[in-house]
């Protein structure tokens, strides 16, 4: 039964509308993503990319619509979901080491009250090595470079041993070495038939790195295999014009609801 | 004052009170050190301030309602109104456009004001006596009773128990709550629970050290502990230790040696430890970073002297001869006597051979000088060849990096530039292995 | 109320005047503390001045000497400086720096008070003040009585604060809004910061006798915070906080009398300040919680009514013929339908004849507008690529909010469509005039 679902849809978002306070930021987003794809969510600043990710993960309340991951609500399949938040979302001066952060990825599997066991630390070490950070395992996290911090976050998501990963701007502000490491990692994940959904902002590389694209600008513009979706027409729709009406509508709704 | 007697007294029956003070202070320091660590990391230290002040009306209301002077009831009242205060702070920041700091200041003073009104109301009706407020403001550490200490033991035990039990959960709550939520931990519950523990600690501590100084006990020990370690569990232990030590020393200093109020002395001892940590902690300590800066400066100075001698040798194409001092003194702004002194030190460290008035590089000194010049010129070449920066702009930059670059970076630079022979000014770039400049 | 004022004796008036001066001086400066997110710096300074006072008293032997002001001024600049230094060392966070510095200074103050034999300072008084006694400490020059000394002190401080705020209005505004911009424009935000801190500490000192160290924080913050919720204009906010300060003083004294006269006046003032804040938190016309709640519930009932129009319109689809009430009851509950009909007939939007209803001319026009917005939005979302079966839900919420102008723009964008994607006609509205 599970196997069958895997073959159908990894992520189904149905008619999702999300508002910050009263202002709608995402309108009626509706799409499905098949398993085993590397998916890029692409759109301009303020298009609602991170909002989409957070609302899929239940971190933001939905105005309407629902989300299913492997045909189940998120609550039921938490163990199968990995998450890489934006690097700026935490205090990097927190007194903890790289390996400790990676081990946090295991907490969900460990459950309440119990401590990480030896296997968990070994797993954390393994995943840290997978992003080529084993040398820095016991480094305090503020002493890592931006790219290294990002790799620690990726390793933490890997430690969740999930089937579907959500990554919020993992390529933002990283060095070339880290970018290569992330790309290699993404490919490994694809080989393992995992689904990876990445918020991405670099149009130059999106075609090269990803095989599925979701174009977003307050509403869904296109969703499909890269070769079908990545074209000038769609990009123009995403990045240029025609938004005036939608954002004015958002303003008026926000004002009306105040 | 007879010390021996004082100390003996401590262990006798009459010293019961002093023992209680000591034990109470230690427990309090320990508990606030532990709980303060999380408050500090979650940037909620001053929320404790608001809670502490907000306790007063709760205590008064409890007395007005029950008419009893039971410390346990007071504790419950204090906890309820302290928690209400914390909720008000959170509510005001969420439902209005006021910021966190304004909400804290507001709750703190208004609750306190209401408390004072209630307190003076009680006093005026003759039901209570004057002692209440003083205790609340400054604590009564010097007169802790056995039952107070019993409450503290319970609290301390509870706090340690819950921190051990929820260690992993509290860690993720403090570090990355969103990620914690995505893992399925109930962040709201953890938040409320940890806040309640803070309230409990503050309220128990109030009767010992008073409102203002209780805040100090949850801020200062963790801030000091943070300097010594990069690991959360160690930070908690160190913080508890510093808190307990401040408590102990505060109690001992104030009761045995100088007759001073315990609470403020405790805080001063803790502050002393904070100062100590800020200066002397390894890695994060100021002394340590001053030393690092100083040794980098010293290295720069030495390398500049060696470089100057090298350059004079390069001009005359002879590195072996002794160079008269006045040929190199033009390279420095420092007075001659200082240069002489520095050369003498370099002589002692075997980097140069220095006789009064003349100097030459030893082979070790020569290698170091050559390396410095090499880094300088390679960087100049890199800036002007690869980065297209005009020749006359590259020197200043290279002056700085020549003392910093690692050998790995230098050899990578060389590889990238395909081992150039000359810098943009036409000077030759010395090689590490051979000596391509020697005539 | 009137009798309360007519029975006042002169010392009571003095108490209220002095209280008003203190509260409004604090309120004025407090506005900037709030805007610059320095509220806790006020808290810190008010606690930290204790050692300054003790030192001054030790040297001059009196609490009401000018040395106290100098001591306070120094501490007032020293405290933020220490906090800044600690924070900028990068080793202690901002809030912890504030907490560590003021508590330590306060502890030093307490030790000084309790262990130095010749200083007689009532620490309780320092912490919560005793405004009731201020009228009896008269200023006597050359044998003639010029009224309470505290009046002259707090009056001077009030004028000083007023002058400071007026004189540096522009600078304070820019520095509070964007200190980097201020620096780029050639103002000196650092200098302004320390000036403000010095003024805060001098104000604190002048308020000690009357309200004390902890309550003074409330006087700094509460009037300004209440004013901040009432207005978006800085000058209005300053004025309102002065008014708030006066209300705190008068109300506070009134409350103290009401509770029997033996109650702390400064505590009552803080209580009144808190009440004023809560009032503005709930009843501010623009940001108040009550009005927000009312607006929301009014919105809910409006949406309900508008849905009702749309239902009637849909049943008759533009013809505006009589609709049997039974049909409407199939969509809404029976009771609700009855209520809605009553309400809309009163508003003149609906006509009723036996067991049928019909939209009035006004009601019909309104329904047309809503339907037009709904269907235009559907067409627009369809054009943006939303599948047909998702369209209705999307438009269901938006139709109530879009303005006629936006409808016009959408229509233009869609090239003035006659039908929505489901094939239903989009009504045209003839603009009158």
Provide the residue ranges of all domains of chain A, joining segments of one domain with +.
2-257
Interface test with C, best of A64, A256, A258 (most C CBs within 10 A): A256
**Per-residue model confidence (pLDDT) at position B438:** 39
pLDDT at A6 over 50: no
pLDDT in tens, B324-342: 877 777 777 778 888 888 8
Please tell me whether residue B207 adopts helix, strand or coil conformation.
helix
What number of residues does chain A have?
Answer: 258
**Around Cβ A136, how many Cβ atoms within 10 Å?**
19
Q: What is the CA radius of gyration of chain A?
A: 19
Q: What DSSP string describes B75-107?
A: HHHHHHHHHHHHHHHHHHHHHSS--HHHHHHHH
Contact B178 A85 (CB under 8 A): yes
**Per-residue model confidence (pLDDT) at position B138:** 66
Asked if A39 and A213 count as a contact pair (C-beta separation under 8 A), the reply is: yes
What are the backbone dihedrals phi and psi of residue A117, each rounded to the nearest 5 degrees, phi first?
Answer: -95, -175
The CATH homologous superfamily to which domain C2-284 belongs is: ABC transporter involved in vitamin B12 uptake, BtuC (1.10.3470.10)
Asked: is B291-416 a CATH 1.10.10.10 domain? The reply is yes
**Per-residue model confidence (pLDDT) at position B282:** 84
Pick from A256, A255, A237: nearest CA to A47: A237
Q: Cβ contacts (< 8 Å) between A116 and chain B: which residues?
A: 168
The CATH homologous superfamily to which domain B11-284 belongs is: ABC transporter involved in vitamin B12 uptake, BtuC (1.10.3470.10)
Local confidence band at C432 (pLDDT 50, 70, 90 cut-offs): very low
pLDDT in tens, B249-268: 988 888 776 667 888 888 99
pLDDT at C143 over 70: yes
Q: Which residue in A222, A246, A257 is closest to C299 by CB distance?
A: A257
Asked if C185 and C173 count as a contact pair (C-beta separation under 8 A), the reply is: no
pLDDT at A2 over 60: no
pLDDT in tens, B282-291: 888 888 888 9
**Per-residue model confidence (pLDDT) at position B174:** 93
Q: Chain C: residue nearest A18 by CA? A: C394
**How close does chain C come to A215, measured CA to CA in Å?**
12
**Per-residue model confidence (pLDDT) at position C124:** 67
Residue spans of the domains in chain C: they are 2-284, 288-433
Stretch C249-258: mean pLDDT, rounded?
90
Q: Counting beta carbons within 10 angstroms of the beta carbon of residue B372, is it exposed (0 to 12), middle (13 to 18) or buried (19 or more)? A: buried
Stretch C11-33: mean pLDDT, rounded?
90
pLDDT in tens, C350-385: 888 878 888 888 888 888 888 888 888 888 888 877
Q: Cβ contacts (< 8 Å) between B230 and chain A: which residues?
A: 95-97, 140
pLDDT at A226 over 50: yes
Q: Cβ contacts (< 8 Å) between C225 and chain B: which residues?
A: 98, 102, 106
Distances (CA, A) of A173 to A148, A176, A213, B226, C28: 11, 10, 21, 28, 44
Q: Cβ contacts (< 8 Å) between A28 and chain C: which residues?
A: 381, 386, 390, 393-394
Average pLDDT of chain B is: 83
Distance separating the N- and C-terminal Cα atoms of chain C: 55
The answer to whether C190 faces chain A, any CB pair under 8 Å, is: no
SS3 content of chain B, % helix, strand, coil (to 5): 75, 5, 20
Distance separating the N- and C-terminal Cα atoms of chain A: 47
**How close does chain C come to A28, measured CA to CA in Å?**
6
Q: What DSSP string describes C82-98?
A: HHHHHHHTTSS-HHHHH
The answer to whether C34 faces chain B, any CB pair under 8 Å, is: yes
**Per-residue model confidence (pLDDT) at position C387:** 74
In terms of average pLDDT, the best of A18-27, B116-125, C21-30, C366-375 is: C21-30
Local confidence band at C118 (pLDDT 50, 70, 90 cut-offs): low
**How close does chain A come to C402, measured CA to CA in Å?**
6
> What element of type H or E holds C358?
strand C356-359
Q: What is the largest CA-CA distance in chain C?
A: 97
The answer to whether C213 faces chain B, any CB pair under 8 Å, is: no
Contact B231 A97 (CB under 8 A): yes
pLDDT in tens, C268-313: 999 999 999 999 999 988 788 888 888 888 888 888 888 888 888 8
Contact C110 B116 (CB under 8 A): no
Asked if C138 and C146 count as a contact pair (C-beta separation under 8 A), the reply is: yes
In terms of average pLDDT, the best of B9-23, B347-361, C57-71 is: B347-361
Q: What is the largest CA-CA distance in chain B?
A: 104
Asked if B99 and B42 count as a contact pair (C-beta separation under 8 A), the reply is: no
Residue spans of the domains in chain B: they are 11-284, 291-416
Report percent pLDDT > 70 for chain C: 92
Q: What is the CA radius of gyration of chain C?
A: 32
Stretch B286-299: mean pLDDT, rounded?
88
Asked if B254 and B142 count as a contact pair (C-beta separation under 8 A), the reply is: yes
**Per-residue model confidence (pLDDT) at position C43:** 87
Contacts of B272 (CB under 8 A, 6+ apart): none
**Per-residue model confidence (pLDDT) at position C286:** 79
Average pLDDT of chain C is: 83
pLDDT at A100 over 60: yes
Paired tokens of C88: 């900028």
Q: Tokens 């890269």 identify what position?
A: A226
Q: Chain A: residue nearest C403 by CA? A: A252
Comparison of pLDDT for A177 and C317, the residue scoring more: A177
Contact C39 B105 (CB under 8 A): yes
Q: Which CATH code for domain A2-257?
A: 3.40.50.300
pLDDT in tens, B62-75: 888 887 777 788 88
Asked: is C288-433 a CATH 3.90.1300.10 domain? The reply is no
Q: Is C162 left (phi over 0), alpha (psi -120 to 50) or beta?
A: alpha
Local confidence band at B385 (pLDDT 50, 70, 90 cut-offs): confident
**Per-residue model confidence (pLDDT) at position B437:** 42
Local confidence band at C433 (pLDDT 50, 70, 90 cut-offs): very low
Contact A258 C295 (CB under 8 A): yes
**Per-residue model confidence (pLDDT) at position A156:** 93
**How close does chain B come to A41, measured CA to CA in Å?**
20
Please tell me whether residue B435 adopts helix, strand or coil conformation.
coil
Comparison of pLDDT for C119 and A159, the residue scoring more: A159
What single-letter DSSP state applies at residue A72?
B
Local confidence band at A4 (pLDDT 50, 70, 90 cut-offs): very low
Residues 58-77 of B with CB under 8 A from A: none
Average pLDDT of chain A is: 87
Calpha distance C181→C174 (Å, rounded): 8
Stretch B113-127: mean pLDDT, rounded?
82
Interface test with B, best of A95, A104, A109, A162 (most B CBs within 10 A): A95
In terms of average pLDDT, the best of B44-58, C105-119, C205-219 is: B44-58
**Per-residue model confidence (pLDDT) at position C394:** 66
**How close does chain C come to A30, measured CA to CA in Å?**
8
The answer to whether C351 faces chain A, any CB pair under 8 Å, is: no
Contact C106 B45 (CB under 8 A): no
Comparison of pLDDT for B102 and A45, the residue scoring more: B102
Q: Tokens 């509510």 identify what position?
A: B91
- Which of A46-50, A52-56, B86-90 has the weakest average pLDDT? A46-50
pLDDT at A250 over 70: yes
Q: Chain B: residue nearest A159 by CA? A: B183
Stretch C150-163: mean pLDDT, rounded?
89
Stretch C50-79: mean pLDDT, rounded?
78
Report percent pLDDT > 70 for chain B: 90
Stretch B270-277: mean pLDDT, rounded?
94
Q: Is C143 left (phi over 0), alpha (psi -120 to 50) or beta?
A: left
List chains adjacent to chain C, taking adjacency as at least 3 C-beta pairs closer than 8 Å. A, B
**Per-residue model confidence (pLDDT) at position B128:** 53
Q: Counting beta carbons within 10 angstroms of the beta carbon of residue B289, is it exposed (0 to 12), middle (13 to 18) or buried (19 or more)? A: middle
In terms of average pLDDT, the best of A239-248, C92-101, C123-132 is: C92-101
Chain-centre distance of CA A177, in angstroms? 21
pLDDT at B132 over 60: no
**Per-residue model confidence (pLDDT) at position C120:** 66
Asked if C41 and C80 count as a contact pair (C-beta separation under 8 A), the reply is: yes
Contact A115 B168 (CB under 8 A): yes
Calpha distance B133→A8 (Å, rounded): 70
Helix spans in A1-97 (H):
2-8, 49-56
The answer to whether C380 faces chain A, any CB pair under 8 Å, is: yes
Contact A245 C384 (CB under 8 A): no
pLDDT in tens, B216-232: 999 999 999 999 998 99
Q: Cβ contacts (< 8 Å) between A61 and chain B: which residues?
A: none
pLDDT at A230 over 60: yes
pLDDT in tens, A63-79: 888 899 998 888 888 88
**Per-residue model confidence (pLDDT) at position B432:** 66
- Which of A2-11, A238-247, B171-180, B289-298 has the weakest average pLDDT? A2-11
pLDDT at B425 over 80: no
Q: Which residue in A245, A253, A255 is closest to C413 by CB distance?
A: A245
**Per-residue model confidence (pLDDT) at position B12:** 64
Stretch B352-367: mean pLDDT, rounded?
83
Contact B184 A113 (CB under 8 A): no
What are the backbone dihedrals phi and psi of residue A225, each rounded to the nearest 5 degrees, phi first?
Answer: -60, 145
**Per-residue model confidence (pLDDT) at position B236:** 95
Structure pTM? 0.85
Asked if C202 and C69 count as a contact pair (C-beta separation under 8 A), the reply is: yes
**Per-residue model confidence (pLDDT) at position C30:** 92
């Amino acid at each position: 039964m599970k196997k069958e679902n895997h073959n159908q849809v990894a992520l189904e978002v149905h008619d999702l509308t999300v508002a910050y306070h009263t202002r709608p930021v995402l309108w009626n987003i509706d799409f499905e993503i098949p398993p085993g794809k590397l998916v890029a969510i692409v759109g301009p600043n303020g298009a609602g990319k991170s909002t989409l990710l957070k609302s899929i993960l239940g971190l933001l309340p939905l105005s309407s619509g629902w989300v299913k991951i492997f045909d189940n609500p998120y609550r039921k399949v938490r163990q199968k979901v990995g998450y890489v938040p934006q690097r700026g979302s935490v205090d990097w001066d927190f007194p903890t080491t790289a390996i400790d952060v990676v081990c946090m990825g295991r907490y969900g599997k460990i459950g309440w009250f119990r401590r990480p066991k030896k296997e968990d630390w070994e797993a954390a070490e393994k995943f840290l090595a997978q992003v080529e950070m084993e040398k820095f395992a016991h480094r305090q996290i503020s002493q890592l470079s931006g790219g290294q911090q990002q790799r620690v976050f990726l390793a933490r998501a890997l430690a969740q041993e999930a089937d579907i990963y959500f990554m919020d701007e993992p390529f933002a502000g990283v060095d070339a070495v880290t970018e290569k490491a992330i790309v290699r990692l993404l490919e490994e994940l694809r080989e393992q038939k995992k689904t990876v959904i990445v918020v991405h902002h670099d149009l130059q590389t999106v075609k090269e790195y990803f095989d599925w694209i979701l174009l977003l600008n307050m509403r869904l513009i296109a969703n499909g295999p890269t070769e079908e979706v990545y074209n000038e027409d769609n990009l123009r729709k995403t990045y240029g014009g025609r938004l005036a009406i939608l954002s004015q509508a958002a303003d008026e709704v926000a004002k009306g609801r105040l | 004052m007879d010390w021996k007697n004082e100390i003996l007294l401590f262990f006798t029956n009459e010293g019961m009170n002093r023992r209680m003070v000591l034990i109470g202070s230690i427990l309090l320091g320990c508990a606030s050190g532990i709980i303060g660590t999380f408050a500090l990391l979650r940037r909620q230290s001053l929320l404790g301030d608001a809670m502490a002040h907000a306790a007063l009306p709760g205590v008064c209301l409890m007395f007005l309602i029950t008419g009893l002077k039971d410390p346990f009831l007071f504790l419950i009242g204090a906890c309820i109104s302290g928690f209400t205060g914390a909720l008000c702070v959170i509510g005001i920041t969420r439902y209005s456009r006021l910021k966190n700091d304004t909400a804290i200041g507001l709750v703190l003073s208004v609750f306190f004001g209401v408390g004072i009104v209630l307190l003076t109301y009680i006093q005026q009706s003759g039901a209570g006596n004057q002692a209440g407020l003083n205790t609340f403001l400054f604590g009564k550490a010097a007169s802790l009773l056995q039952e107070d200490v019993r409450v503290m033991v319970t609290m301390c035990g509870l706090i340690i128990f819950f921190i051990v039990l929820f260690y992993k959960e509290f860690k993720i709550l403090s570090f990355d709550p969103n990620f914690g939520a995505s893992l399925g931990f109930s962040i709201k519950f953890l938040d409320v629970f940890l806040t309640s523990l803070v309230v409990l600690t503050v309220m128990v501590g109030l009767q010992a050290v008073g409102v203002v100084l209780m805040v100090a006990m949850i801020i200062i020990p963790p801030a000091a502990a943070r300097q010594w370690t990069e690991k959360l569990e160690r930070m908690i232990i160190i913080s508890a230790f510093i808190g307990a030590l401040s408590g102990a020393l505060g109690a001992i200093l104030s009761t045995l040696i100088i007759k001073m109020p315990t609470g403020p002395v405790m805080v001063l001892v803790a502050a002393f430890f904070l100062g100590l940590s800020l200066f002397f902690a390894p890695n994060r300590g100021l002394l340590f970073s001053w030393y690092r800066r100083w040794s980098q400066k010293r290295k720069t100075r030495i390398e500049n002297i060696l470089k100057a001698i090298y350059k004079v040798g390069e001009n005359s194409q002879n590195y072996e001869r002794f160079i008269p001092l006045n040929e190199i003194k033009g390279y420095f702004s420092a007075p001659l006597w200082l240069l002489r002194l520095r050369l003498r030190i370099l002589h002692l460290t075997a980097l140069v051979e220095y006789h009064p008035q003349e100097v030459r590089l030893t082979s070790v000194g020569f290698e170091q000088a050559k390396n410095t010049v090499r880094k300088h010129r390679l960087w100049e070449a890199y800036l002007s060849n690869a980065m297209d920066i005009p020749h006359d702009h590259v020197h200043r930059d290279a002056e700085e990096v020549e003392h910093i670059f690692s050998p790995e970076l230098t050899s990578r630079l060389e590889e990238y530039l395909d081992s150039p022979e000359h810098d943009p000014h036409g000077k030759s770039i010395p090689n590490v292995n051979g000596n391509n400049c020697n005539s | 109320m009137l009798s309360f004022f007519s029975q006042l004796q002169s010392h009571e008036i003095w108490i209220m005047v002095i209280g008003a001066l203190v509260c409004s001086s604090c309120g004025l400066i407090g506005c900037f503390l709030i805007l610059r997110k320095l509220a806790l710096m006020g808290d810190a300074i008010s606690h930290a001045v204790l050692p300054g006072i003790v030192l001054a008293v030790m040297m001059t032997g009196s609490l009401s000497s000018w040395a106290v002001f100098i001591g306070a001024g120094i501490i007032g600049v020293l405290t933020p400086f220490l906090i800044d230094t600690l924070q900028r060392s990068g080793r202690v966070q901002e809030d912890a720096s504030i907490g560590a510095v003021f508590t330590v200074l306060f502890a030093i103050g307490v030790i000084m008070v309790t262990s130095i034999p010749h200083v007689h300072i009532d620490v309780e008084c320092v912490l919560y003040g005793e405004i009731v006694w201020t009228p009896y400490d008269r200023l006597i020059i050359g044998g003639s009585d010029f009224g309470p000394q505290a009046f002259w002190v707090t009056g001077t401080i009030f004028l000083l604060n007023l002058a400071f705020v007026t004189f540096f209005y522009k600078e304070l505004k820019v520095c509070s809004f964007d200190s980097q911009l201020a620096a780029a424009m050639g103002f000196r935000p650092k200098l302004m910061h320390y000036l403000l801190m010095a003024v805060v500490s001098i104000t604190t000192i002048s308020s000690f006798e009357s309200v004390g160290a902890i309550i003074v924080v409330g006087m700094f913050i509460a009037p300004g915070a209440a004013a901040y919720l009432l207005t978006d204009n800085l000058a209005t906010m300053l004025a309102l906080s002065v008014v708030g300060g006066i209300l705190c003083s008068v109300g506070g004294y009134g409350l103290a009398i009401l509770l029997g006269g033996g109650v702390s006046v400064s505590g009552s003032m803080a209580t009144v300040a808190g009440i004023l804040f809560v009032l503005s938190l709930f009843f501010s016309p623009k940001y108040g919680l009550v009005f927000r709640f009312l607006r929301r519930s009014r919105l809910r009932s409006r949406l309900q009514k508008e849905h009702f129009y749309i239902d009637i319109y849909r049943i008759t689809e533009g013809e505006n013929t009589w609709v049997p009430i039974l049909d409407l009851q199939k969509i809404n509950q029976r009771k609700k339908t009855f209520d809605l009909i009553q309400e809309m007939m009163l508003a003149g939007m609906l006509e009723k004849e036996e067991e049928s209803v019909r939209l009035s001319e006004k009601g019909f026009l309104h329904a047309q507008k809503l339907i037009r917005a709904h269907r235009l939005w559907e067409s627009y979302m369809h054009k943006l690529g939303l599948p047909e079966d998702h369209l209705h839900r999307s438009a269901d919420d938006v139709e109530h909010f879009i303005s006629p102008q936006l409808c016009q723009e959408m229509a233009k964008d869609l090239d003035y469509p006659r039908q929505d994607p489901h094939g239903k006609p989009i009504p045209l509205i003839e603009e009158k005039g």
